[in-house]
Structure 1
Amino acid sequence: MASTKKKAAVATTSRARLASVIKSARDTMRKDAGLNGDLDRLPQLSWLLFLKAFDQRVERVGPLLDPDYRPAIEEPYRWQDWATKPDFSGNELKTFVNDELIPYLAELKGADGDAEDPRNVLSTIFKDVNNRMQSGTLLRDLVNLVDEIHFDSSDDIHTMAFLYESILKEMRDAAGDSGEFYTPRPVNRFMVQQSFLRLGESILDPACGTGGFLVQAYEDLVQRVETDTQRRQLHDDIRGIEKKSLPYLLASMNLLLHGIGAPRLVRENALLQMRDATAADRVDVVLTNPPFGGEEERSVVDKFPKGYQTQETSWLFVHAILDQLKKGGRCSIVLPNGSLSDGGVGARIKQKLMKECNLHTIVRLPQGVFAPYTLIPSNLLFFEKGRPTEEVWFYEVSLPEGRRGYTKTKPLRVEEFEPCVEWWGGEKRESRKEGGNAWKVPATEIEKAGFNLDVSNPHVGEDLDHRSPEELVHELIKTESEILGLLEEMRQELGGISE
């Protein structure tokens, strides 16, 4: 009877109600001495949410779709076996979770090499999961709150996904302060939109983080699905690689909430994974923001051909992606300004890129898109494999009028890409014109310049000759004042990041 009442309530679950449950869960976790900040609290909430969603969306639905379905989790480790018992609390619950549940899930084994087997998904997620809560009583309270969240309808899943992404953003903000930078949603959306995805194409993010590109690609394509066969194929086509355990867990949860029951995510060093890939592993589309500024281990660098070996991670990703793409495949990738002007190995990889692919567009982002965590200017490169580059089009996205940069409270907005989308000229890139924010450079000129792709907008400053010295000085003072104000705002935000 109680179960019936609970399901009836779920049918009218509102976003406000789910938000209230999530807030109560976070308040509960704040009371526990074992959790310090969102970088502890969100993973704790995520693996519990994952088990609840997995039980409801996979284990209970599986037998309805397949009479031969074999549950991935056996008794007494199913959510319904332990999480729904209010009297199972305190040290007894904590001991069960720490010593039995998590070790059991971490040791599950599915079909060899089958990343989609739910047992392999679970074991990959839970091999690095820890219950950080010290109080078994607070853990019971948290489990009770998670059990109030239901995934019975697509509306509930959509609402929960929206809320989950909002707290993911907070976690990304906290992670950024620790040196990890995640792609802003407007950039994800623009890159997916301008990749012109089609159903039936395999899509890979080899540095998937918490799954932002994959979720955006899925949301774009799932609207076109008309049959169950197409839906299953789409689930199979959305693929990711992530080296770190926390983003892997968060990405798995993110994709599960968006309707992909067994996400095709691999927890591995993507550079090794791609270097060991076969022709059968090649994909149609790569969407990614690889780590940059870091250095790889010698054993990883040695996997690459002589002449292309570098410890700069971003260039190793570009090289690996060139081999990962099918002929006719395409890529959208984020790279920093510094990489575009690199000589040496970087120049050789750019030469290889332009010889094997049509590097048709470079979108130059305004400085501070990733603020307040880094002010490094970044670029979006779009290329297609199969024929060499003849010319490269550049488009410079302008800051909104009156703005000198971005902050956490005033970030980049998706509307700021609209002029670029209009200029783009559709999938065939027709009717592009130079002027203002757009210019093109022949490949021969880029080659003569040592494959330097850090090409400044030639149209900037055209009106300087027509302005008086007084106007220029006034503009300079105004700019400096705005920069100082921006830096002060960033300093206050960084100082105010809560635990």
Structure 2
Amino acid sequence: MAAIKKNAAAAPATSRTRLASLIKRARDTMRKDAGMNGDLDRLPQLSWLLFLKAFDERVEQEGEALNPDGYRRAIEAPYRWEDWATDPDLSGDELKVFVNDKLIPHLAGLVGDHAEDPRNVISTIFRDVANRMQSGTLLRDLVDIVDEIHFVSTDDIHTMAFVYESILREMRDAAGDSGEFYTPRPVNRFMVQQSFLKLGESILDPASGTGGFLVQAYEDLKDQVRTDTQRKRLHADIRGIEKKPLPYLLGSMNLLLHGIDAPQVRRANALLEMRNSTAADRVDVVLTNPPFGGEEESTVVKAFPAGYQTQETAWLFLYSILDQLKRGGRCAIVLPNSSLYATGETSIGAKIKKKLMQDCHLHTVVRLPQGVFAPYTQIPSNILFFEKTGPTSEVWFYEVPLPDGRRGYTKTKPMQLEEFSTCTEWWGGEKREARENNEYAWKVPVEEITGSGFNLDVTNPHVGDDLTRRTPEELVDELVKTETGILELLEELRTKLGAKK
């Protein structure tokens, strides 16, 4: 094929308006193809092409410019973007065969020389990539559109990151219909902000999805970087684990666009990864919203100690994180109300909360308002903040109120970051000084929590429990919570009875 190399550095900046127009053209082109069925097909197709174009300009061309004699490309001819994507004569069935039978298998087979080698990221992504377009002509059109997008300047990268985040929001909308719930940006920004991150700390999201927590952590820290050594260390310290191929691809692309050339995200089952980790793998900070309400396969459950084996993913993640943190490390994690409520000597949830409060200082539970994850689920959720600095002596609770006149959130009227402002002011900075009881905040001694069977579903004492003041949604939530607790106890009883046979 005759390669036609374009001078990307001489290309004009891609404005936000033009970029949005190009993305729209790309999606319109994919809609014409018989192999594409909705955004769950179209967005991954666009993402792996964008990944290759961004990697070529952002990593490969920059690397050669900085080190013309010593830089070795991760992707070599004839698989470089400039070799095949810019060749107008490569189209139709010839292009489709090249992409399906040569390009994707080659990229999937790359092997890096070391942990930070970007070839490892590329091969992990492309092991699960498939070209879903049936028309080689439409594929040529799509590649030509992607080739008009540039990543050579900081402005270009920020512009693409902005538009890509809008694509991710739509991806989350589509995924929500299939049971995937992603963390709203105000929630992950608040969690990162109140974790008071520092350069040199290792930061892990063991359920990293599309990379929201990792990107936010990187954005918070990158302006503190002063040397190339610090930059490399920061890139290595932003770590994730993701089990599913589609979120892994989207998350890797998201991190790349935000400036991390070789994202340190592993494609694996995080629960097994954390169970098999060593002391050297422990981290300073965990930021995560693990899947809850799901069930893990038996091989994963059996990897946990007797007495802590459950198929509820939220409990397994919380237990694993306790071991994954370094001494002095800290965590911010989203958990549903049902996790807070689980009590009783035989309850695995209560046992894990007991271990949490013995090993760590659970200093704050932020109770999120109704419908934060709407419209995908109305399950009430909470953020637990804890430090591995010794046992808990008391727990502060803070109930984030709904805005005046609101009964919940919707897809068109989601939660905003400003709604955390009163909580941020009350927080008391990194050392949590001068906290006071108020209409939204209250303190509970550990003896009271222990005496309740480790129930952390503590009602705001300043509101009371007047049924006439509670919404129908709240009353239904209370019934669901009670039934969930009963079902959990019955499930454990059935497991014990089965084990005795």
Partner residue of 1:325?
325
Partner residue of 2:43?
42
Give a deviation string over 1:103-123, Cα, whole Å, max 9, x none.
111111123xx4421111111
Partner residue of 2:389?
386
Distance in 2 of aligned mates of 1:95 and 1:222: 42
Is 1:416–2:419 an aligned residue pair? Answer: yes
Q: CA deviation at 1:304?
A: 1.1
Distance in 2 of aligned mates of 1:282 and 1:10: 45
Contact in 1 for aligned 2:108/2:125 (Cα 8 Å): yes
Distance in 2 of aligned mates of 1:221 and 1:171: 27
Match of 2:112 among 87, 98, 110: 110
Partner residue of 2:195?
195
Distance in 2 of aligned mates of 1:380 and 1:219: 21
Q: Residues 5, 304 of structure 1: CA spacing in aligned structure 2 closer, same or farther, 3 A cutoff? A: closer
Q: Residues 481, 110 of structure 1: CA spacing in aligned structure 2 closer, same or farther, 3 A cutoff? A: closer
Is 1:59–2:60 an aligned residue pair? Answer: yes
Distance in 2 of aligned mates of 1:406 and 1:330: 30
Match of 1:71 among 70, 73, 90: 73
Give a deviation string over 1:89-145, Cα, whole Å, max 9, x none.
11110110011100111111123xx44211111110000100000111110010001
Q: CA deviation at 1:481?
A: 11
Distance in 2 of aligned mates of 1:64 and 1:397: 50
Is 1:359–2:362 an aligned residue pair? Answer: yes
Partner residue of 1:491?
none
Is 1:145–2:148 an aligned residue pair? Answer: no
Residue identity in the other structure for 1:252: S
SS at structure 1 position matched to 2:383: strand
Match of 1:90 among 88, 92, 102: 92
Q: CA deviation at 1:227?
A: 1.6
Partner residue of 2:28?
27
Q: How does 1:98-497 map to 2 (within 5 A)?
A: 98-111=100-113, 114-343=114-343, 344-461=347-464
Residue identity in the other structure for 1:262: A
Residue identity in the other structure for 1:82: W
SS at structure 2 position matched to 1:361: strand
Residue identity in the other structure for 2:20: A
Residue identity in the other structure for 1:55: D
Q: CA deviation at 1:10?
A: 2.0
Distance in 2 of aligned mates of 1:176 and 1:136: 31
Name the count of aligned residue pairs: 468
Distance in 2 of aligned mates of 1:178 and 1:423: 38
Residue identity in the other structure for 2:391: P
- Contiguous gaps of at least 5 residues in structure 2: 476-501
Q: CA deviation at 1:329?
A: 0.3
Distance in 1 of aligned mates of 2:342 and 2:474: 31
Residue identity in the other structure for 2:101: D
SS at structure 1 position matched to 2:224: coil
Which deviates more from structure 2 when the two are superposed, residues 62-71 or residues 413-422?
62-71
Give a deviation string over 1:21-77, Cα, whole Å, max 9, x none.
111111111111111111111100000000011111111222344443321112111
Q: CA deviation at 1:4?
A: 7.3
Give a deviation string over 1:470-499, Cα, whole Å, max 9, x none.
xx97x78xx66999xxxxxxxxxxxxxxxx
Q: Residues 481, 10 of structure 1: CA spacing in aligned structure 2 closer, same or farther, 3 A cutoff? A: same
Residue identity in the other structure for 1:235: H
Distance in 2 of aligned mates of 1:442 and 1:173: 40
Which deviates more from structure 2 when the two are superposed, residues 304-313 or residues 168-177?
304-313
Distance in 2 of aligned mates of 1:269 and 1:7: 40
SS at structure 2 position matched to 1:299: helix
Distance in 2 of aligned mates of 1:115 and 1:194: 30
Residue identity in the other structure for 2:56: D
Distance in 2 of aligned mates of 1:252 and 1:427: 31
Distance in 2 of aligned mates of 1:185 and 1:41: 23
Residue identity in the other structure for 2:253: M
Which deviates more from structure 2 when the two are superposed, residues 115-124 or residues 35-44?
115-124
Distance in 2 of aligned mates of 1:3 and 1:43: 26
TM-score normalised by length of structure 2:
0.91
Which deviates more from structure 2 when the two are superposed, residues 95-104 or residues 298-307?
298-307
Residue identity in the other structure for 1:94: K
Distance in 2 of aligned mates of 1:209 and 1:106: 21
Which deviates more from structure 2 when the two are superposed, residues 244-253 or residues 304-313?
304-313
Distance in 2 of aligned mates of 1:481 and 1:300: 35
SS at structure 2 position matched to 1:223: helix
Residue identity in the other structure for 2:368: L
Q: CA deviation at 1:309?
A: 1.2
Distance in 2 of aligned mates of 1:301 and 1:314: 12
Q: Residues 450, 480 of structure 1: CA spacing in aligned structure 2 closer, same or farther, 3 A cutoff? A: closer
Contact in 1 for aligned 2:5/2:86 (Cα 8 Å): no
SS at structure 2 position matched to 1:240: strand
TM-score normalised by length of structure 1:
0.91
